[in-house]
Chain A
């Protein structure tokens, strides 16, 4: 099956997958995996974790395919599952506790920070935030989604998203400040 075939709509593929056609679900996965990898990639620390997260997201989608009501596009429904799965993973990770000191924050003062190095630094700072704060920073600041979109993805109210975003930013600033001012 060709994923660009216009006759293979998401609705058709979902119906076929529900009838037991695994190949139809594979086409659905192929069509939407970039979106899922894009979201999960912001939360995963390495390839292995990304693979686990992406598989978990599609497994949840597969198990709940019968509940998809087609009121909104499949992509939106899948994105909500992706965000919720990543949020659960963040909460689990936080319970496991993994805090690495930020030892090289001086480079944040530089004008041109190498993106991967910046990501590494931010990841270490984000670890110290709560799962909610990390989720909201990632979706608003890194994915550049609107408050309304974040509210739709998380199920929080728009006011709640704004409050959480403000607190998350403040917390992040405090973490970076404390580490930056810490004597080496």
Chain B
């Protein structure tokens, strides 16, 4: 089988794929693909920039909503808790 395999490999070595048809206009196809990808990337970039104000507005609105929905007197409730008062006392040395 060694001989047979070697004969097969020698024969295949001589077989070269004819690439002339693929080589025809290859650079043009490749460059148009590169340009298309570049344009696509640029498009995504442009959209990302355009969406920045919208995202910023959304963050501000969410922040405001969060502020409005919080209970007004958190500190008195916390200070009423004896454990918290003890902890604050320990921290401040009072």
Contact = CB atoms under 8 A, between A and B. Distances in A.
B19 A37 contact: yes
Given A22-B35, A55-B30, A115-B15, A47 B22 contact: yes
Interface string B61-90: 000000000000000000000000000000
A47 B26 CA distance: 12
B31 A115 contact: no
Interface string B24-49: 00110111011101000000000000
Contacts of A167: none
A142 B9 contact: yes
A163 interface: no
A142 B30 contact: no
B34 A50 contact: no
Main secondary structure of the interface of A (DSSP, over half): helix
A119 B5 CA distance: 12
Interface in A12-26: 22, 25-26
Interface residues of A, number: 39
Contacts of B17: 41-42, 44, 50
B4 A55 contact: no
A65 B8 CA distance: 39
A77 interface: no
A25 B22 CA distance: 18
Contact of A108 (B4, B14, B16, B27): B4
A121 B12 CA distance: 9
B52 interface: no
Contacts of A177: 1
A176 B17 CA distance: 23
A59 B29 CA distance: 11
A97 B83 CA distance: 68
A29 B4 CA distance: 39
18 contacts: A22-B35, A25-B31, A26-B30, A26-B31, A29-B30, A30-B27, A37-B22, A42-B17, A47-B21, A54-B22, A55-B29, A59-B34, A62-B34, A118-B8, A122-B9, A141-B13, A144-B13, A176-B1
